[in-house]
Structures are given as C-alpha cells and as structure tokens.
Structure 1
Amino acid sequence: MRRYTVLFFLIMFMIGTDTFLISPLLPTLQTQFGVSTGIAGWMLGAYTLGSALFALIAGPLSDGWNRRTVLLSGLLGFSVSTILCGFADSFWTMCLFRFLAGVSAAFTAPQVWASIPAIMPASRVSKTMGIAFAGLAASQALGVPIGSWLAVAHWSVPFWTIGIASLLLIVVAFYSLPDMKPNTFERTSILHRYVPLIMSGKARSCFLAYLLLHLGSGTAFAFIGKWMAERFELPIGQIGTVMMFLGFGTLLGSMISSYVTGKLGNSNAIIVGMSMLMVLYTVMPHLTNLRFVTIIYLIIFATLGIIFPIVMGALTSLNASIRGTISSLANSTMNSANTLGAWIAGLLYVQFGGYSSIGIFSAVCLALSLGTFLFGGVLGRKAEHTSQESASAS
C-alpha cells in the first residue's frame, strides 16, 4: 500500500509543479516570444482553461472505463505535451501545448482522487488523501525555485525535466497499479452521470461549500504578492521566499490532516479550522510586521492543508459509482473559483481600500462555506458515518 501512496504523491507533485512552473519563467518567455504583458498571462491561463473545461468531460468518461487505463493515458499525454512546451517556437504554440497539458492533467489528477478510495483500505483513505494533496502543496513550495534553477541553463530545460520524469512515473504506475474497472458496464451520456449529483441536495450543498471555500482562499492568495510589494516594499525575490513558506505551510497541514481528524473528527476539524481562518483573514491585512504576516499566512495555509483533504474525502464519498465525475467536477470547481477569485480580488483591491477588503471578502466566503457544510448535511456524525461506510464498500 505504501507504493501507491508514494506514486500518488509523485503524480500530484509533477502536475502541481507543471502548474506553477511557468510563473517564474513568464518574463523570460515574454521576451523570448516578443509579446506584451497584457497577453503574456495566457501562457498561464491556457493550462487552467484546458483543465477546467475538460475536467467536466473526463470525469464522466472515466467512470465507465478502467481508471488505471485513464490515468496512464492522461499521464502520457501530460508528459508529451509538457516536453513539447520546451520546443515551442512562438507564443501561440506555447499556449497550444500548455492547453494540451491542462487537458491531460484534467484526465490524470481526478483519477488520483477517485482511485484512492477504490484501492486503499478504509482506515488509510484519509491519510492517503492528505499525502496526495501534500504532493500539490510541495509543488507549490518548490515549483517556483525548481523552475528558476533549471531555467538557468535554458528556459526549455524545466519542461523537458518534468516531462521525462513523468514518463518514468508512467512505467512505475503501469507495473504498480491494479485494474480499476467499473462494477457494471453501462453506456450512458456524459450529462446523465451528473444527474445523481444534481438531484442530491447533499451533493449540491457540498459542491457549493467547496466553491465558496476556494473562492475565499483564492481571492486572498491572488493579490498577496502585490500587497506585500506595496506594504513592505519587498522585491520579487523576497516575495518568492515568502511564497515558499506558504507552500510549506500547506505541505505541513496536509501531512498532519489525518492526525488532526483522528483527534477532533472531520466535523470539528472543519469547524475549528474555518472559524480560525475567518479571524486570520480579517486581521492579517492590518498587521505591519512582515514576520508576523509570514507566520499568520503559514498558519492559514497549514489550516487549508488540513481542511482540503477532509473536504475531498467528503466529496468522493457522495457516490462511489461516479467518483471520477465527482473528482473532475471538484477540479473544475476549484479552477473556476480561483479564476473568479483573481478577478474579484482586482476589483476589491482597486475600488475598496486595498487588501483589507479582500480579507473581509475571504472571511465572508469562509463563513458561507461553513454554514453550507453544516446546514447541507455534509458534516455531522451521520455524514461521517456514511463516508466511512462508502470507503469500506470500495
């Protein structure tokens, strides 16, 4: 079982690193392809767009196929498209290859979340979810410096490195993962697979709460770099160092998530965690000491690292027969919330007094998310019991 845990961690680390990789390379690529600042961001947005759009298709398709085959195929597409990014000779070819990498990631990442309850014992599902999420957290902490260090030789080297490393992971996954075929073969439309989620009040509440959770955290994260540059007059290098601490906070939280839930239970962990986040998001913009701000953000991201695996476990337990659909919809929801959050953050920052208005907005989103979790029947003893039964059944 340990080999599955390590494999899932590494897959999510590769996907996460590729997501964050282009950020430090953006100035270099902008110069390389001769594009303006206004459109250079599409080299980032093309990946997210491909992932968000095709996640809605990938999930329902994968629920009728062998998850092992889907994961291997998605990882192969991810590897090839990432390697091709290193050969891009224009802005539009880079956008195309980034879009294809996002599409491939949409077929790969959700299979990790859907596979964990299918092949892991019920007692280890929560811990494995946390470790897989730690792969994303580690990539957030290390993606920027890794990309920067590798790009010293040439901007294409990071893409080739991640692509080749992902090819090696395909070999490991091919020989490690068992077949995960659906219990019954049923030809059904993509939209039909979403019907059980649409008809379930609990599922609607869970996804709305998940959207609000990411909207709050994504809005706060979007303009943290700009706020630090203006508030503390930090150069970009020091901002990157602070960002690394945030990533390590998420990594720490995801690693101890199962321990915290073992002590508090899923419901109490989310209630305590979100309540604390509301206070910290509201107070933090008013702090004047950079060291305190860094510590507060470390606590915030550690708390998010604890909460996200719990929520993902609650989502995948909604319906064991369509875990791929659920995981893909969660991925699309996350990307949509983060995109909307970045837009809202810009409006709030300019129109309503800077970062303090963003902190209040994030706190309100977290309060609404917690309320939706509580009143939607997602949390509570009955919900936790159902989640455990679903994991046991798999």
Structure 2
Amino acid sequence: MNPIIVLYFLLMFLIGTDTFLISPLLPVLRETYGVSVASSGWMVGAYALGYALFALVIGPLSDGWNRKKVMLYGMIGFGISTFLCGIAPSFAVMLLFRALSGISAAIVTPQIWASIPSLVRPNQILRAMGIVTGGLAVSQTLGVPLGTFMADRTWSLPFFLLGVFALLLAIPIRFVVPDLPPEQTPRRSPGLSILQNYRSVFTARNGKISFIAYFAFQLGNFAAFSFLGSWLADAYSLGVAGTGQVMMFLGLGNLIGSFLGSRTVNRFGKNKVLVVALGAAGLLYLGISNTSSPSFVKAGLFAIFLLMGTLFPVMITELQSLAHQARGTIAALSNAAMYGATTAGAYIAGLLYGRTRQFMAVAAFTMACFILSLGLWLKAGKRDVSVQHHATQGHSS
C-alpha cells in the first residue's frame, strides 16, 4: 500500500478522533462548565464554525501553494491548539481553543483530499478515498471509545494525547510526503485567485446542486450525531464509558462501509447506492429513536454508519471531479459545507432535543435532510446523462 495513503489514513484518524470525541463528552463538559444543553452544542459548533469559515479562504489559496508545506504547518497548529483544549479554564476559553483546532484542521484536510488524485492512478482514486475515509471510521471505532474511557478518569487527558500525536505526525509529513507544487502556473493576486477558483467550481456542470446535496446530507448526519451522547445518557443512563462502547458499533460500521464502498458502487452503481443508503439510514434513525433496547440501538448505529461509510467516499469523489484545476478549492468547500452543516445541525438538534427531550424530533429532521439530499443527487445524475446524450448527438451529426 502507498505509504502516503497510510499516512493520510493516520491524519484523518487523528482529526476524526478530535472532531467526534466532543459529542460523547458533552454531558461531562456541560457539567464542568455549568452550561445548558443547548449551549453545550457550541463546543461542537465552535470547532465546526472555525473550520468552515477559514476553509473558504485557505482552500482556494492552497491551489497556488505547495500542499506539503501547507499540510505541515496546519498539523503543527492543530497539535498545539488541541493540547490547549485540555487546560481550558472556562467555557469561553474552550470555545476559543476548539475554534483554533477547527481552523488548523481546515488547513490540513483539504490538502489530503486534493492531493489524492495526484498521487494515485485514476482507477484507484475511489479506493484511496475509501481508505483515507477509513481513518475517520477507525477514529470512531477506536479513537473515540479510547478517548471516552480515558475521559472517564479525567476529561483533559484525550486532548493532551491527541495534541502530542498530532505534533509527532508532522514528522512524516515533512519526510514522506513529496513536494506538491500548484497545478496553476499563472501568478495572480490572492483575492483574484480565490474568486476565479470559486467561479470555476460553481460554473462547472452540477457544481451548485452537488454542493447543496452534500450540505443537506451532512446537515442531517451531524444533527443526529451531535446529540447521540446526550440522548444515550438521558434515555439509557449511560456514562461516558458506556457511551464509548456504543460508539464502537458506530465506528465499526463506518469502517467496513469505507473499505467496501468502492466495490459496492462498482457492482450496483452510484444511484442505487444513494437511494438505498440514504433511505435506509433515515428509517433506521427513526427506528432507534423509538426503541427501549440498547442492543437494537447498537445494531442500528452499526447499520447506519456502515451506510454512511459507503456514501462519504462516493460523494467526495463526485465533488472532486467537478474542476480538476481547483481541487483544493473543492476540498475546502466540501469540508466547509460539512462543518457548516455540523454547526447548523448541532444548533438545530440542540433546539429540538432541548425542547422535546425526544431524539425522535432530531431523527425526523435527519430523515427530511436525507430525502432532500437524495433528490438533489439524483437530479445532478440526470443532468449528467442529459449533457452526455446531447454531446453524443452533436458529435454524431
């Protein structure tokens, strides 16, 4: 296996652990800082908002820079800011450090997604995307449960270890990743570069509709995920360690889906996978919100995130194919859309769950988002077929 893809797997494992760890820690952190359920969601939102806003700038700019150097500096910043989360003396300071962690992650992850098509053969891109996505899945399977077990002793420890691990991973970035110079040769002012890159993405066929579809998917996905920890604690009286055990089923499903996704798409086709996966995941969320069985919840989360693991590489590969000369912009936009959806999803889920104390309300919102996303992806697929058909007719005439 390509050692750089293995390194990317580890980077996504680390960033994913930091991203997802905060959800099962929310009950402990809200007690530590003495904040409400709705306000606690901003510990998810601060990271996501910092990521989303900064990615909108750094992504287009990175298309004109050496991706290796951008990745290296971003990982160093990520390590320092994550370590500082462990010593945050107040809720406001924790929000600040979480925002800085999100900003640093916004520097690193677009370089990962954007550089994969330059490092592997075209027929291996979806597989490589799946392997790197597997790092996120393993972070849920191992990273988050291990973090929650450690946090059961002291919530600061996971942040300390993640910070140190991030700084250690900066070393192989320096010595293993080759220089990745920009594909854009003309020199332009930063402002012009950003505008032109965004224009090339949004004027691409299906550019706008694809990003809206992806945003809708992540809005529903993270609305449900953000308050899983709070729901499990309230409905089943699970502590941090117990929630970590449930998260293992979630992460295991995501891991299997990530590695098998490319084979599934090759066998059944993209549209069939989208219909079955999005529809089934929405129904499963509704199902687990109406059960009193922790075993059914575990099985349901396993199935849901197996489907999520299958979907994510497909969607990212579709987005990366929109404009080859602006892959950093696309990666940044896709991640900004994801973390923007995380911010909005955590806020909406906080309102729904805080007022009803029923996860069913959050699950219904997630189902509605998945239906919207599916309709938009299918519409984009029909437009692709239509354009190809007209192009073939024109060529024949």
1:170 aligns with 2:174: no
1:317 is matched with which residue? Answer: 321
Contact 2:131 2:258 (8 Å CA) reproduced: yes
Separation of aligned partners in 2, 1:15 and 1:342: 19
User: Once structures 1 and 2 are overlaid, which stretch shifts more, 313-322 or 363-372?
Assistant: 363-372
Q: What letter matches 1:298 in structure 2?
A: F
- Once the two structures are superposed, what CA deviation does each residue of 1:216-241 show, in whole Å capped at 9, x if it has no partner? 22223233344444544545543332
Q: What letter matches 2:379 in structure 1?
A: F
2:341 is matched with which residue? Answer: 337
SS of equivalent to 1:243 = helix
SS of equivalent to 2:186 = coil
Q: TM-score, normalised by structure 1?
A: 0.86
Separation of aligned partners in 1, 2:223 and 2:254: 17
2:395 is matched with which residue? Answer: none
Q: 1:53 to 1:147 in 2, by over 3 A?
A: same
Separation of aligned partners in 1, 2:154 and 2:362: 38
1:209 aligns with 2:210: no
Q: 1:383 to 1:180 in 2, by over 3 A?
A: farther
1:218 is matched with which residue? Answer: 222
Q: TM-score, normalised by structure 2?
A: 0.85
2:186 is matched with which residue? Answer: 185
Deviation at 1:9, TM superposition (A): 0.4
Q: What letter matches 1:309 in structure 2?
A: P
Q: Where does 1:114-263 land on structure 2 (aligned, <5 Å)?
A: 114-150=114-150, 156-183=156-183, 184-187=185-188, 188-263=192-267
Q: How well do the aligned residues superpose, as a CA RMSD in angstroms?
A: 3.0
Separation of aligned partners in 2, 1:363 and 1:132: 27
SS of equivalent to 2:77 = helix
Separation of aligned partners in 2, 1:82 and 1:185: 37
1:281 is matched with which residue? Answer: 285
Separation of aligned partners in 1, 2:133 and 2:91: 32
Is there any run of 5+ residues in structure 2 with no aligned partner, and where? 389-397
SS of equivalent to 1:182 = coil
Separation of aligned partners in 2, 1:365 and 1:81: 33
Deviation at 1:329, TM superposition (A): 1.0
Q: What letter matches 1:199 in structure 2?
A: T
How many residues are aligned here?
Answer: 383
Deviation at 1:104, TM superposition (A): 0.9
2:34 is matched with which residue? Answer: 36
Is there any run of 5+ residues in structure 1 with no aligned partner, and where? 385-394
User: Once structures 1 and 2 are overlaid, which stretch shifts more, 234-243 or 202-211?
Assistant: 234-243
Q: What letter matches 2:285 in structure 1?
A: Y
Separation of aligned partners in 2, 1:353 and 1:82: 31
Contact 2:145 2:245 (8 Å CA) reproduced: no
Separation of aligned partners in 1, 2:169 and 2:234: 42
SS of equivalent to 1:79 = helix
Q: 1:25 to 1:364 in 2, by over 3 A?
A: closer
Identity between Structure 1 and Structure 2 (%) = 43
Q: What letter matches 1:99 in structure 2?
A: A
- Once the two structures are superposed, what CA deviation does each residue of 1:217-267 show, in whole Å capped at 9, x if it has no partner? 222323334444454454554333212211221112112112212222333
Q: Where does 1:13-32 land on structure 2 (aligned, <5 Å)?
A: 13-22=13-22
Q: What letter matches 2:187 in structure 1?
A: E
Q: What letter matches 1:318 in structure 2?
A: L
Deviation at 1:115, TM superposition (A): 0.9
SS of equivalent to 2:136 = helix
Q: 1:379 to 1:284 in 2, by over 3 A?
A: farther
Separation of aligned partners in 1, 2:95 and 2:225: 24
Q: What letter matches 1:280 in structure 2?
A: L
SS of equivalent to 1:37 = coil
Q: 1:374 to 1:146 in 2, by over 3 A?
A: same
SS of equivalent to 1:186 = coil
Contact 1:205 1:378 (8 Å CA) reproduced: no
1:295 aligns with 2:299: yes
